[in-house]
Structure 1
Amino acid sequence: MISIEIPRPSRRIRHIHIEFGTLTLDYQAGAEQAQNVADQLAQGFPELMVTIDDDVRADLPPLPCAALWD
Protein backbone atom coordinates (compact mmCIF):
# COMPACT_ATOMS: atom_id res chain seq x y z
CA MET A 1 0.00 0.00 0.00
CA ILE A 2 1.33 3.40 -0.98
CA SER A 3 0.71 6.34 1.30
CA ILE A 4 0.50 9.76 -0.31
CA GLU A 5 0.64 12.83 1.87
CA ILE A 6 -1.07 15.89 0.45
CA PRO A 7 0.62 19.08 1.62
CA ARG A 8 -1.71 21.55 3.29
CA PRO A 9 -1.32 25.24 2.59
CA SER A 10 0.36 27.01 5.47
CA ARG A 11 -1.92 29.28 7.42
CA ARG A 12 -0.66 32.78 8.09
CA ILE A 13 -1.01 33.66 11.77
CA ARG A 14 -1.62 37.28 12.75
CA HIS A 15 -1.80 39.27 15.99
CA ILE A 16 -5.17 40.90 16.70
CA HIS A 17 -5.29 43.69 19.27
CA ILE A 18 -8.66 44.90 20.61
CA GLU A 19 -8.83 48.01 22.76
CA PHE A 20 -11.70 49.72 24.57
CA GLY A 21 -10.64 52.28 27.16
CA THR A 22 -8.43 50.47 29.65
CA LEU A 23 -9.47 47.03 28.39
CA THR A 24 -6.95 45.53 25.98
CA LEU A 25 -7.09 42.05 24.48
CA ASP A 26 -4.40 40.38 22.41
CA TYR A 27 -4.77 37.11 20.52
CA GLN A 28 -3.26 35.17 17.66
CA ALA A 29 -5.49 33.99 14.84
CA GLY A 30 -5.42 32.99 11.23
CA ALA A 31 -5.25 35.99 8.91
CA GLU A 32 -8.77 35.48 7.59
CA GLN A 33 -10.20 34.93 11.07
CA ALA A 34 -8.53 38.07 12.41
CA GLN A 35 -9.85 40.15 9.52
CA ASN A 36 -13.37 38.76 9.92
CA VAL A 37 -13.37 39.63 13.64
CA ALA A 38 -12.05 43.13 12.94
CA ASP A 39 -14.69 43.73 10.27
CA GLN A 40 -17.57 42.54 12.46
CA LEU A 41 -16.42 44.54 15.49
CA ALA A 42 -16.01 47.68 13.38
CA GLN A 43 -19.59 47.33 12.13
CA GLY A 44 -21.17 46.61 15.49
CA PHE A 45 -18.92 48.48 17.90
CA PRO A 46 -17.30 51.52 16.26
CA GLU A 47 -15.94 52.64 19.66
CA LEU A 48 -13.54 49.66 19.73
CA MET A 49 -10.07 50.04 18.29
CA VAL A 50 -9.00 46.86 16.52
CA THR A 51 -5.62 46.41 14.86
CA ILE A 52 -4.07 43.46 13.09
CA ASP A 53 -0.34 43.06 12.60
CA ASP A 54 2.44 40.49 12.35
CA ASP A 55 3.68 40.92 15.94
CA VAL A 56 2.80 37.33 16.85
CA ARG A 57 4.40 36.12 20.06
CA ALA A 58 4.39 32.62 21.54
CA ASP A 59 2.65 33.89 24.69
CA LEU A 60 -0.43 35.18 22.82
CA PRO A 61 -3.47 32.99 23.41
CA PRO A 62 -5.46 31.78 20.42
CA LEU A 63 -8.58 33.71 19.47
CA PRO A 64 -11.48 32.26 21.51
CA CYS A 65 -13.96 30.31 19.36
CA ALA A 66 -11.75 30.96 16.33
CA ALA A 67 -13.62 28.41 14.20
CA LEU A 68 -16.71 30.65 14.30
CA TRP A 69 -14.80 33.22 12.23
CA ASP A 70 -13.79 30.87 9.39
Structure 2
Amino acid sequence: MTALWSSPERRSGHCPSCAGERPFEQPPCADGHEPGECPEWACADCGHAIMLGTAESTLPVRQLVTAAA
Protein backbone atom coordinates (compact mmCIF):
# COMPACT_ATOMS: atom_id res chain seq x y z
CA MET A 1 0.00 0.00 0.00
CA THR A 2 1.10 3.51 -0.63
CA ALA A 3 1.24 6.12 2.08
CA LEU A 4 -1.34 8.52 0.67
CA TRP A 5 -3.45 9.35 3.71
CA SER A 6 -6.41 11.68 3.57
CA SER A 7 -7.61 10.85 7.10
CA PRO A 8 -6.90 8.20 9.74
CA GLU A 9 -9.79 6.10 8.37
CA ARG A 10 -9.04 6.49 4.63
CA ARG A 11 -6.00 5.80 2.46
CA SER A 12 -5.09 4.98 -1.11
CA GLY A 13 -3.50 1.69 -2.08
CA HIS A 14 -3.30 -1.12 -4.62
CA CYS A 15 -6.42 -3.30 -4.66
CA PRO A 16 -5.73 -6.86 -5.87
CA SER A 17 -9.35 -7.34 -7.01
CA CYS A 18 -9.61 -4.06 -8.93
CA ALA A 19 -5.99 -4.41 -10.19
CA GLY A 20 -5.26 -0.76 -9.58
CA GLU A 21 -4.89 2.13 -7.16
CA ARG A 22 -8.11 2.61 -5.20
CA PRO A 23 -9.27 4.33 -2.01
CA PHE A 24 -9.42 2.11 1.09
CA GLU A 25 -11.56 2.84 4.13
CA GLN A 26 -11.80 1.41 7.60
CA PRO A 27 -15.24 0.02 8.38
CA PRO A 28 -16.59 0.54 11.92
CA CYS A 29 -14.47 -1.61 14.24
CA ALA A 30 -16.31 -4.19 16.35
CA ASP A 31 -13.11 -4.91 18.31
CA GLY A 32 -12.96 -1.50 20.00
CA HIS A 33 -10.00 -0.03 18.07
CA GLU A 34 -9.78 3.76 17.89
CA PRO A 35 -10.32 5.36 14.44
CA GLY A 36 -7.20 4.82 12.35
CA GLU A 37 -5.87 2.07 14.66
CA CYS A 38 -7.84 -0.93 13.34
CA PRO A 39 -5.85 -3.26 11.02
CA GLU A 40 -8.94 -3.97 8.86
CA TRP A 41 -9.27 -2.05 5.58
CA ALA A 42 -11.73 -2.40 2.68
CA CYS A 43 -11.58 -1.17 -0.91
CA ALA A 44 -14.15 1.61 -1.30
CA ASP A 45 -14.94 0.43 -4.84
CA CYS A 46 -15.26 -3.37 -4.58
CA GLY A 47 -15.12 -4.13 -0.84
CA HIS A 48 -11.98 -6.34 -1.04
CA ALA A 49 -10.78 -6.63 2.56
CA ILE A 50 -7.17 -6.59 3.71
CA MET A 51 -5.47 -6.68 7.10
CA LEU A 52 -2.51 -4.46 7.87
CA GLY A 53 -0.49 -4.78 11.04
CA THR A 54 2.89 -4.59 12.65
CA ALA A 55 4.79 -6.95 14.91
CA GLU A 56 3.64 -4.87 17.88
CA SER A 57 -0.01 -5.58 17.05
CA THR A 58 0.35 -9.36 17.13
CA LEU A 59 0.13 -11.48 20.24
CA PRO A 60 2.91 -13.89 21.17
CA VAL A 61 2.19 -17.55 20.53
CA ARG A 62 2.32 -19.94 23.44
CA GLN A 63 4.60 -22.88 22.81
CA LEU A 64 3.53 -26.38 23.69
CA VAL A 65 6.04 -28.05 25.98
CA THR A 66 6.04 -31.84 26.13
CA ALA A 67 7.93 -34.13 28.47
CA ALA A 68 10.95 -35.94 27.04
CA ALA A 69 10.68 -39.74 26.93
Specify if TM > 0.5. no
Choose between structure 1 and 2 for higher RCO, CA contacts under 8 A separated by at least 6 residues. Answer: 1
Shorter-normalised TM-score: what interval? under 0.3
Report the TM-score, using the length of structure 1 for normalisation.
0.23
Q: TM-score, normalised by structure 2?
A: 0.24
